Amino acid sequence: MYYENSWYYRRCWSKYNCGVLTASTRKNNLYGKALAGASIAYEIPTEPQQEYVSKIIHGLVMGRQEDNNKAILENIIDSFADRGIEHIILACTDLQLLRPEHKTIKIYDTMKILKDSTIKQMLSNS
């Protein structure tokens, strides 16, 4: 999944830099390896931001959603815009539930990309 998404971004983006939001960004570096393989530079949240992202994801997994979760997530995305990032990868399936938006950063739903890729692959094999 990580590699399929990375090559999708490589095909679609004119500027290859992005931010990655997921619970395990710092721990496992799964997306980092895949993005590096596609020659895409990426940034991750600061340590305090990562703690917020992880708390939000954990709450969503547990069926709890705080009223301010979307605003917190969008503020974190704002900080990426300040660093010149043009794309954000929601690399955790739960973050899409908040439907974050941003006026200048394009936000990518990894599950949608994987779904579309799977359908395309299935249709090309039939």
Percent of the chain with pLDDT over 70: 83
Q: What CATH number does residue 90 fall under?
A: 3.40.50.1860
Residue 23 dihedral angles phi and psi, to the nearest 5°: -70, -35
Q: Is residue 122 part of a domain?
A: no
Q: pLDDT tens, 66-125?
A: 889 999 999 999 999 999 998 898 888 788 889 989 999 999 888 888 888 888 888 988
Structural domains in the chain (count): 1
| pTM of the model as a whole | 0.79
Does residue 83 lie in a domain region?
yes
Residue 36 in domain: yes
- 95 domain residue, yes or no: yes
- Cα of first residue to Cα of last residue in the chain, in angstroms, is 22
Do the domain assignments include residue 14? yes
Q: Over the chain, what is the mean pLDDT? A: 83
Distance of CA 3 to the CA centre of its chain: 13
- Angle value at C-alpha 12, between 2 and 112, nearest 5 degrees: 50
Q: Which domain holds residue 56?
A: 2-117
Residue 38 lies in a domain: yes
